[in-house]
Amino acid sequence: VLQVLVIYSFAYLFNPFDNRLVTALNVHGKFAKIAILESALNVVLSLVLVQVLGLVGVALGTLLAVIVGKTLKTMHCARVLDVGLVKFVFEPLLPNILPCLISLLLLLVLDSSVNSFIQLFVVVVVTSVIWFFITLFFALSATEKRYVIDLLLRKRIAD
């Protein structure tokens, strides 16, 4: 169940700023409708799948609903920005896949050895740090890297 929910959480990392984008452009009404659809789909799928798969079915219902919701939201973002869907997915979003997949695989491998909540916490923290560095070095442009590093150094100097 935790592994399915981990995959669910990484679905949000694929396009993490979609809500901020449509809110900033004041075109978030469609997102609200998609969120309602996603929630309703989550409830229906969870109720159906719990009968067959138990608790895993509820987790799968949640995962499937978020995949549908994220797909619709990504399509809406591309439309709002007046960019082709393929271009929108391949240019700004595709670089996020590598850090997400590596972190997800690492988390799934490490999760099999977890015996306590403390170990689970450590696994999540380690995986998150690895995701950050993979994203920093492989998914961001040189300008974005400089901005993040400057931001971190300023914060560190201020402390």
52 token code pair: 């067959």
Find out whether 13 and 72 touch, Cβ atoms under 8 Å: no
* Per-domain residue ranges of the chain: 1-82, 93-159
Overall pTM surpassing 0.85 (yes/no) = no
What is the residue-level pLDDT of the chain in tens, covering all 159 positions? 767 777 777 777 777 778 888 888 888 888 889 999 999 999 999 999 999 999 889 999 999 999 999 889 989 988 888 888 888 887 777 777 778 788 778 877 776 777 787 887 888 788 888 888 888 888 788 888 888 888 888 866 655
